[in-house]
Amino acid sequence: MLNIPRISISRRLRNTPVTHRVNQAGVKAYTVYNHMLLPTVFESLEADYHHLKHRVQVWDVACERQVEVAGPDAAKLMQLITPRDLSSMQDDQCFYIPMVDDTGGLLNDPVLLRIDRNRYWISIADSDVLFWVKGLAVGMNLDVDIHEPDVSPLAVQGPNSDALMERVFGESIRDIRFFRHKKISFQDKPLVIARSGFSRQGGFEIYVEGSARGEPLWDALFEAGRDLDVRAGCPNVIERIEGGLLSYGNDMTRENSPHECALQKFCNAPDGVAFIGREALSKITPGNLKRQIRGLKIEGDPVPPCTESWYLTKHGRFAGKASSAAWSPDLACNIGIAMIDREFWEIGTELSIHFDNQQRMAEVCSLPFPR
């Protein structure tokens, strides 16, 4: 990594409540997400990957900022911003909601938490959702309060997550179902905890309300998990590609519809329910979709980091673009995520992929990759 540039940290790239702990844990690289630091490597991408898949990690994902929307018009506004039907949502549920603009382009793919009937947290991917919902609320004169609360998620991920969490929060933690949340006490104050997270290894996201509580909770998790080999970790690009977890800004942008990202099952608001982008999305049918997200297997030695779109061709014709790629130790091949044109998107299609003045064979496959 000798020639990789450093990151210049300024106040604008916000610290999190546990940045000091992350630095003490020996973080080697950061990215920036919602104007905040997000660790990306501790020991190495591959060592972090193996550890995540076999042990348990604590992740500083404070950058999953919350946009709190509260007030009499909160439910109405939440339904306006997503094609997903929210009518059945319970107070303890987390909903993955594609958010689209008037053209049907994706603005974000957050997890929505309903805290109570008139109060929601939008747990966002990397774009300023607060600006969008505030713009709508001001423009439509809605009766809501919108702000970014002092809430910083800390994730516990990996097969030993339940064991670790039970030691810190008690055994009722095991009862939380997938994409449900619950208020559980830590040091006599409640915390919202959900069974969720940006890996396929199982685990929880703890919505740490109050920055001062970050370090005590971090320390409690490490103290309790010593014999479980708990380590500082972070979303791991290899594991997330294996698991087919799309990353907003990498694998999907404003240029893409939910359907192109294979998120059509989340576009289920019934007729008569108003949401922004309905007209644009209504024109998309299985028959006229131009491109869609797929997995890729790329031949040869480990690929470099995918820092920009890699073009895919077939006999010299444009076939698509890859947006994420990594060497998978467990699959013993390079894997990637790509947006592929209709003519080439059948599983098994062999394409050429172009990067760093190389050309290699890449095979279209389904997502997620088989374990």
Q: Which residues make up the interface to a copy of itself (CB under 8 A)?
A: 1, 4-15, 27-32, 35, 40-41, 101-102, 107, 126-129, 131-140, 237, 247-250, 276, 305-309, 323-324
In the complex with a copy of itself, the residue whose CB is nearer, 129 or 217, is 129
Taking the CB of residue 46, how many other CB atoms lie within 10 A of it?
16
Distance CA 360, CA 282 (A): 38
**Which residues, in sequence order, are CB contacts of 231 under 8 Å at separation 6+?**
25, 42, 51, 55, 57, 58
Residue type at 369 in one-letter notation? F
User: Minimum CB separation from a copy of itself for residue 243, in Å?
Assistant: 17
- Token pair, residue 305, equals 């980091």
User: Minimum CB separation from a copy of itself for residue 29, in Å?
Assistant: 4
Residue type at 329 in one-letter notation? P
In the complex with a copy of itself, the residue whose CB is nearer, 48 or 162, is 48
> What one-character DSSP code corresponds to residue 127?
S
In the complex with a copy of itself, the residue whose CB is nearer, 131 or 343, is 131
User: Minimum CB separation from a copy of itself for residue 8, in Å?
Assistant: 4
Tracing tokens 């919902």 back to the chain, one arrives at 133
What does the chain come to in residues? Answer: 371
> End-to-end distance of the chain based on CA atoms, in angstroms?
29
Asked if omega into 368 is within 30° of 0 (cis), the reply is: yes
In the complex with a copy of itself, the residue whose CB is nearer, 225 or 336, is 336
Whether the CB-CB separation of 169 and 151 falls below 8 Å is answered with: no
Q: What angle do CA 6, 7, 12 make, to 5 degrees?
A: 165
Tracing tokens 């516990």 back to the chain, one arrives at 156
User: Minimum CB separation from a copy of itself for residue 210, in Å?
Assistant: 17
User: Minimum CB separation from a copy of itself for residue 342, in Å?
Assistant: 22
In the complex with a copy of itself, the residue whose CB is nearer, 77 or 176, is 77
- Token pair, residue 306, equals 């995918």
User: Minimum CB separation from a copy of itself for residue 254, in Å?
Assistant: 8
In the complex with a copy of itself, the residue whose CB is nearer, 250 or 313, is 250
In the complex with a copy of itself, the residue whose CB is nearer, 9 or 347, is 9
The CA–CA distances, whole Å, from 19 to 6, 49, 89 equal: 17, 21, 34
User: Minimum CB separation from a copy of itself for residue 93, in Å?
Assistant: 25
In the complex with a copy of itself, the residue whose CB is nearer, 15 or 313, is 15
Tracing tokens 């603009």 back to the chain, one arrives at 101
**Which residues, in sequence order, are CB contacts of 1 under 8 Å at separation 6+?**
28, 29
User: Minimum CB separation from a copy of itself for residue 41, in Å?
Assistant: 7
